[in-house]
């Protein structure tokens, strides 16, 4: 009877150990994907902070990470565009109005790119996906440069959308090269 209990205990321990190992392997694999992508962006530490803030990204494969980046960028861009629109409506002088109008248009272009990005991802059109990521990064970056004059209170959000666009471009390159493809 004691021999049976010892075997049962050993079996359960072995299963628990195996499950822990498997969980660690998949968690580390996902984290390495995130680290690999972010290390190729213009600001790796910001990328890790932003993309890593979504718990799904730590265990995501490459295509999943692309969708997470698209979702995060779109959510943040919608909010930031709203803030820019508020500044546009409150602006009194023509120069400020023009500045905010240009930025709002850049965000509209970025949002349009983010709107079609999931389709390109689903169809494995990675070149087109990368182009959308670059469009997001560049338009949002130009808006951020324009707004440096007025130092908007949402500069952090601008940088976050810009780095998410950059990460989409990096992921699309990795996917098209067949790196870490899921």
The pLDDT profile of the chain, 182 residues, written as one tens digit per residue, is 555 565 655 555 444 443 343 333 333 344 789 999 999 999 999 999 999 999 999 899 999 999 999 999 999 999 999 999 999 999 999 999 999 999 999 999 999 999 999 999 999 999 999 999 999 999 999 999 999 888 888 999 999 999 999 999 999 999 999 875 44
pTM listed for this prediction: 0.81
Count up the domains in the chain and report the number.
1
Q: Let me know if residue 8 belongs to a domain.
A: no
In-domain check, residue 16: no
Determine, yes or no, domain membership for 117: yes
Range of the domain at 52: 32-176
Strands annotated E in the chain: none
In a domain, 4, yes or no: no
Identify which of 136, 170, 150 has the alpha carbon closest to the alpha carbon of residue 48: 170
- CA dihedral 90→93→99→105, nearest 10 degrees, is 50
Residue 71: left (phi > 0), alpha (psi -120 to 50), or beta?
alpha
**In this structure, what is the dihedral angle of CA atoms 122, 123, 127, 133, given to the nearest 10 degrees?**
-30
Distances, alpha carbon 68 to alpha carbons 17, 75, 88, 89, in Å: 31, 11, 30, 32
Establish if 18 belongs to a structural domain. no
Q: Is 127 exposed, middle or buried (0-12, 13-18, 19+ CB in 10 A)?
A: exposed
Is position 25 within any domain?
A: no
15 belongs to a structural domain:
no
Residue 141: CATH number of its domain: 1.20.140.40
Q: What DSSP designation does 118 have?
A: H
For residue 137, being part of any structural domain is answered with yes
């Amino acid at each position: 009877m004691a021999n049976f209990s010892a075997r049962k205990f050993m079996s359960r321990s072995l299963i628990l150990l195996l499950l822990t190992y498997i969980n660690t392997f998949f968690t580390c694999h996902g984290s390495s994907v995130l680290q690999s992508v972010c290390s190729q962006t213009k600001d790796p530490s910001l990328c890790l902070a932003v993309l890593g803030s979504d718990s799904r990204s730590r265990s995501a494969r490459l295509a999943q990470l692309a969708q997470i980046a698209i979702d995060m960028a779109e959510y943040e861009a919608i909010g930031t565009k709203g803030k820019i629109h508020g500044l546009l409506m409150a602006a009194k002088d023509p120069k400020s109005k023009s500045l905010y109008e240009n930025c709002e248009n850049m965000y509209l272009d970025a949002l349009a790119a983010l709107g079609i990005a999931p389709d390109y991802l689903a169809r494995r059109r990675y070149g087109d996906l990368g182009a959308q990521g670059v469009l997001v990064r560049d338009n949002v970056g130009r808006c951020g440069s324009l707004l440096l004059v007025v130092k908007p209170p949402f500069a952090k959000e601008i940088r976050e959308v810009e780095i998410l666009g950059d990460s989409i471009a990096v992921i699309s390159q990795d996917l098209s090269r067949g790196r870490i493809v899921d």
